[in-house]
């Protein structure tokens, strides 16, 4: 691995400066500094569109030992703004690997920083909260880096969905599992084509920054997936004639998306709806509820969640910096079904009259545990019951 050992810098808005070894692209960027507690799955993290605008610090001591492959990417490009690690593995060893993390970041012009005290960074973010930052691998001084950090865009109030959503509708192909990066095809005259053989229900999936594994999971659980951009209208969805609607994950502040709230609000009651992560927060707003920014968010594959209806505790994968105000959704007819056992925040909602439910975490588990995989089965059964006139 030909890693560069030029000096790089991470500056936080509170005045903290961390110097380390630069890798990846030679760039100076700004964003929100956050941390992720996953022990593996760094490629899925790097390509997760929910990290748009953020510099991710990994709490795992060493990153990069199994390299990068063509199958594990969650998008067609890297979506983090920058990447910070304690130790970038000098050796890449895995039969699936095609390149190193250093080469991967260089390919997509993303800067990285190695050899810094990620424990100190994480402790600082837990105490003070997520902070605006500057990451430079371009040789700038501390004062300049701090100045850039302090004028960078705040995540609160930011619409980042417009940067990561698809531009046109397309049909997610279920017949090309060997190459997930090519597992889609544009929609032309196929918009109203018959369902793919063996797939019983058609779902209109809003792409707010969706991870590829979510669509793969929907296909595996009996859905034909028609993907729509975040700007699609309710009428465009109706023209497709779906059996259900799915709302994906995505970056930024859910309160900054009134055009999406309006669309989803218009679809409530017409179709069974399942939302995850940002999609969960969108349902909150569509029901007239509100969200708020968490101090440092939930990012990692080890978040404990309790289902209040069954008493079951699941370990979940999460990546979000905002949460639902539980009291705000009551007037809209929803109840809280799940909570985070670390801080008591809302992790799930269910409408009491409509076939609508959502979770704050990532049931597709990429990366993370598979405890929440049955939610896709629950969605299928909800659609099946609706089609049978039972709900």
Active-site residues, by number, are: 277, 362, 364
Three-class SS state of 237: helix
Of the CA atoms within 13 Å of residue 352, those in its CB half-sphere come to: 8
Backbone angles phi, psi at 48, to 5 degrees: -80, 115
Of the CA atoms within 13 Å of residue 220, those in its CB half-sphere come to: 12
CA 166 – CA 239 distance, rounded (Å)? 19
CA 41 – CA 66 distance, rounded (Å)? 10
Helix, strand, coil shares, percent, the chain, to 5: 25, 30, 40
All residues at 6 or more sequence positions from 262 whose CB lies less than 8 Å from its CB, including other chains: none
The two three-digit tokens of residue 117, written as one number: 């005290």
CA 46 – CA 73 distance, rounded (Å)? 8
Q: Is 53 left (phi over 0), alpha (psi -120 to 50) or beta?
A: left
Distances from the Cα of 21 to the Cα of 7, 113, 119, 135, angstroms = 5, 6, 16, 12
């Amino acid at each position: 691995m030909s890693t560069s050992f030029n000096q790089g810098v991470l500056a936080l808005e509170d005045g903290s400066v961390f110097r380390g070894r630069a890798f990846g692209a030679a760039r100076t960027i700004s964003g929100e500094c956050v941390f992720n507690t996953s022990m593996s799955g760094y490629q899925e993290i790097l390509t997760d569109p929910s990290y748009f605008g953020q510099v991710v610090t990994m709490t795992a001591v060493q990153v990069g030992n199994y390299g990068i492959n063509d199958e594990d990417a969650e998008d067609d490009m890297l979506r983090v703004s920058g990447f910070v690690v304690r130790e970038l593995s000098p050796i890449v060893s895995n039969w699936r690997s095609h390149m190193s993390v250093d080469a991967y970041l260089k390919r997509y012009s993303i800067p990285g920083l190695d050899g810094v005290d990620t424990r100190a960074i994480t402790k600082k973010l837990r105490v003070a909260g997520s902070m605006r930052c500057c990451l430079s691998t371009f040789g700038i001084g501390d004062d300049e880096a701090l100045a850039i950090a302090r004028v960078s865009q705040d995540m609160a109030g930011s619409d980042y969905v417009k940067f990561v959503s698809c531009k046109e509708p397309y049909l997610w192909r279920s017949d090309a599992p060997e190459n997930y990066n090519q597992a889609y095809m544009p929609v032309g005259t196929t918009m109203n084509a018959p369902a793919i053989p063996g797939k019983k229900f058609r779902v209109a999936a809003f792409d707010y920054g969706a991870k590829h594994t979510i669509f793969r999971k929907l296909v595996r659980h009996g859905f034909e997936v028609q993907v729509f951009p975040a700007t699609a209208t309710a009428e465009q969805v109706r023209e497709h004639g779906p059996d259900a609607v799915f709302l994906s994950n995505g970056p930024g502040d859910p309160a900054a998306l009134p055009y999406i709230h309006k669309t989803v609000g218009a679809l409530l009651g017409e179709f069974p709806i399942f939302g995850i992560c940002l999609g969960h927060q969108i349902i909150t707003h569509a029901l007239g509820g509100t969200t708020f920014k968490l101090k440092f968010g939930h990012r990692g594959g080890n978040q404990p969640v309790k289902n209040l209806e069954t008493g079951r505790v699941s370990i979940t994968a999460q990546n979000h910096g905002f949460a639902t105000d539980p009291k705000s959704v009551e007037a809209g007819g929803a109840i809280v079904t799940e909570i985070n056992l670390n801080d008591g925040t809302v992790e799930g909602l269910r409408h009491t009259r409509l076939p609508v439910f959502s979770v704050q975490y990532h049931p597709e588990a990429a990366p993370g545990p598979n405890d929440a995989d049955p939610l896709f089965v629950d969605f299928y059964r909800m659609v099946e019951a609706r089609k049978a006139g039972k709900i």
